[in-house]
Amino acid sequence: MDKAKAGNFFEDFRLGQRIVHPVPRTATAGDVALYLALTGSRFPLPCSTPFATSLGYRAAPLDDLLAFHLVFGRTVADISLNALANLGYADCRFLAPVYPGDTIASASEVIGLREASNRESGVVYVRSTGRNGDGAAVIDYVRWVLVAKRDGRAPAPDAMIPTLPAVVDPASLVVPSGITGRRYDTAASGSTHLWDDYAVGERIDHGDGITVEDAEHQMATRLYQNPAKVHLDQHRQKNSKLGRRLIYGGHVISLARALSCNGLANAFAILAINGGRHVAPCVAGDTVYAWSEVLDKATIIGRDDLGLLRLRLVATKDHPCGDFPLKGADGRDRPAVLLDLDYWVLVPRAPA
């Protein structure tokens, strides 16, 4: 009997199926340091214990996206080991900070299935939840992924596409318990721009670019224990359409978020991802640029120290963002666009 696991194919999933993913992961200070080395992120909250504790955190938490990737990484062996593409995200909520020493475990429920028209693959929709060692949910999200079929002739279930909110209701967002924006140190963050300084419709060119190297994206993918073949196995990928390993889409998100610090340095915590698309593949050698658009602003009931910004974060490859490219004249995504991410962030407000 073959003891090695080949991963699940499309026909192995069933609606309502619940999967408890193996290998809980204890986050460490080493993970934090390696994440900073791989992304160059300069947001102060995960970098400085004094900065974090002055806001009311018990310590410097993990970068929100590092926590997301650790939750995500638990799921890959069961959900997307045989993925052809990770297509999108929705209804993602960051429910509690993750700290070094916390142990993260993940579970998923299959909430939708749809066979592709070529019958060689199908889209699997899952809701995944990460919990800490106390059993408290820290991140909950939906993603959908194109998964190969083992046998194209295998019958497929009736299509079921879940209904998902276009935007997470800002009134439902969870502000970390006990934190305050009144002691926010703009000298430490390197920016004086607070919630009040941003206007709906404003666009920000984050200026810098990061060229993705093979060694770095491989290390990042392994850091999260994401074993998807398309990211790791060049021997297999040489016969693919691109002939290259694909950069894990989460690494592109992290690079774009890191770039966004130049212009959004005080967007110190992610509270939700409303939706996101990996518009085009990224491979080693591509240079990632990013720009943001302020889609909305919201206040928090009973709070005048913190506010919410809804941001669209767009990443491009080999195309600086001065002209804010997104769609062409034909309404289609421009080839340079890699990522289109819609998310809510927490930002300190100016004193009244």
pLDDT at 59 over 80: yes
CB neighbourhood size of 50 (10 A): 10
**In this predicted structure, what is the pLDDT of residue 325?**
80
pLDDT at 19 over 90: yes
- Stronger pLDDT, 136 or 83, i.e. the higher one: 136
Nearest to 144, CA basis, from 122, 129, 165: 122
10-150+178-348 belongs to which homologous superfamily?
Hotdog Thioesterase (3.10.129.10)
- Helix (H/G/I), strand (E/B), else coil: 93: strand
How many whole angstroms separate alpha carbon 266 and alpha carbon 140? 24
pLDDT band at 331 (very low <50, low <70, confident <90, very high): confident
**In this predicted structure, what is the pLDDT of residue 218?**
92
Cβ-Cβ contacts under 8 Å for 65 (sequence gap 6 or more)? 250, 253, 254, 257, 270
Q: Name the packing angle between helices 64-79 and 249-259 (round to 10°).
A: 170
Radius of gyration of the chain (CA): 20
pLDDT tens-digit map of 181-216? 999 999 999 999 999 999 999 999 999 999 999 999
pLDDT band at 166 (very low <50, low <70, confident <90, very high): very high
pLDDT band at 266 (very low <50, low <70, confident <90, very high): very high
Average of per-residue pLDDT across 155-173:
94
**In this predicted structure, what is the pLDDT of residue 84?**
85
- Pairing label, strands 210-211, 83-94: unpaired
Q: Is the pTM value of this prediction over 0.75?
A: yes
- Stronger pLDDT, 83 or 140, i.e. the higher one: 140
Q: How many CA atoms lie within 13 A of 157 on its CB side?
A: 18
- What share of the chain has pLDDT > 90, as a percent? 85
pLDDT band at 68 (very low <50, low <70, confident <90, very high): very high
How many whole angstroms separate alpha carbon 74 and alpha carbon 316? 28
Q: Are 97 and 49 in contact (CB under 8 A)?
A: no
Q: Are 152 and 93 in contact (CB under 8 A)?
A: no
E strand map for 120-216: 121-131, 137-148, 203-205, 210-211
How is the chain split among helix, strand and coil, in percent rounded to 5? Answer: 25, 30, 45
Average of per-residue pLDDT across 293-304:
96
Q: DSSP string of 161-183? A: -----SS--GGG--PPTT--STT
> Which contiguous run of DSSP H or E holds residue 296?
strand 287-300
CA dihedral over 171, 161, 74, 30, signed as positive or negative: negative
**In this predicted structure, what is the pLDDT of residue 1?**
57
pLDDT at 273 over 80: yes
How many whole angstroms separate alpha carbon 78 and alpha carbon 143? 14
How many whole angstroms separate alpha carbon 265 and alpha carbon 290? 14
Average of per-residue pLDDT across 218-229:
93
Average of per-residue pLDDT across 147-169:
92
Tell me what the pLDDT averaged over the chain comes to: 94
N-terminal to C-terminal alpha carbon distance within the chain: 69
pLDDT band at 134 (very low <50, low <70, confident <90, very high): very high
Please state which of the ranges 66-75, 84-93, 198-207, 299-308 shows the lowest mean pLDDT: 84-93
E strand map for 178-221: 203-205, 210-211
Q: Are 252 and 339 in contact (CB under 8 A)?
A: yes
pLDDT at 237 over 80: yes
